[in-house]
Amino acid sequence: MDGFDELVRVMARLRAPDGCPWDGEQTHSSLRPYLLEEVYEALEAIDAEDWPRLCDELGDVLLQVVFHAQLAAERGDFDIDDVIAAIVTKLKRRHPHVFGDTTVSGSDEVVDRWEQLKREETGYDERESALDGIPEALPALQRAHKLQRRAARAGFDWDDIAGPRAKIDEELREVDEADGLAIEDEIGDLLFAIVNYARFCGVEPESALRRANARFARRFRAVEQAAGSAQRLQEMDLAQMDELWEKAKAEEA
């Protein structure tokens, strides 16, 4: 733990009166975008399977954790030791099949027991809804997925995948029939239905769309390169561009 302790000391030094002016001005709120940014950069490294970069990005994520803990320590709220103690206690409590006498049949039972143990924890009974505790700041696709999973655990769910599949067709028809401001609402309902279908397929929608974005960007750049220049691409008709697109897909495959 010498390296971790050194990181904590460095952070405290940066926040000292004679430390870094920028670090000294930060608050939990001002650091919020950096925490989010660092997590997404770590996700990009994972998607790219760039492990040296992931090592670097995880360090940046860890810095954010230590930074927030230092701010809290200065206020007397908690310190990094409290953060560590809390997560260690939580992990042991929610893994009785590892740190206790409980036995499980597999990962599915682990997930079920995890949720049961969460419900038994202090403060859970104070929730007014099964949806309480899902952060509103989550990316929209990820939050939709979590909302649907919570509702499903409460018994509000389709019997099989045919239900969400039919719902997609229903919402698509409503999009076709909508006009004006209603189109936005109907598109939202369609996206929500697709997330539900993804859930039944065992697909995490946020990850699926991130991968689709990456594929599109990669293939579009290949199309631009094949065209010779962005200007030449703009001069092509759709059939010519589509031919280059299919070639890019084939080369990637």
- Of the candidates 179, 208, 177, the one whose C-alpha atom is nearest the C-alpha of residue 191 is 208
Q: Is residue 126 very low, low, confident or very high in pLDDT (cuts 50, 70, 90)?
A: low
Instruction: Dump pLDDT digits (tens) for 27-59.
Output: 999 999 999 899 999 999 998 899 999 999 999
Q: What is the dihedral of CA 247, 248, 250, 252, to 10 degrees?
A: 160
For range 10-26, the mean pLDDT = 97
**What's the predicted TM-score (pTM) here?**
0.70
**Amino acid at position 210, single letter:** R
User: How far apart are alpha carbons 60 and 37 in whole angstroms?
Assistant: 10
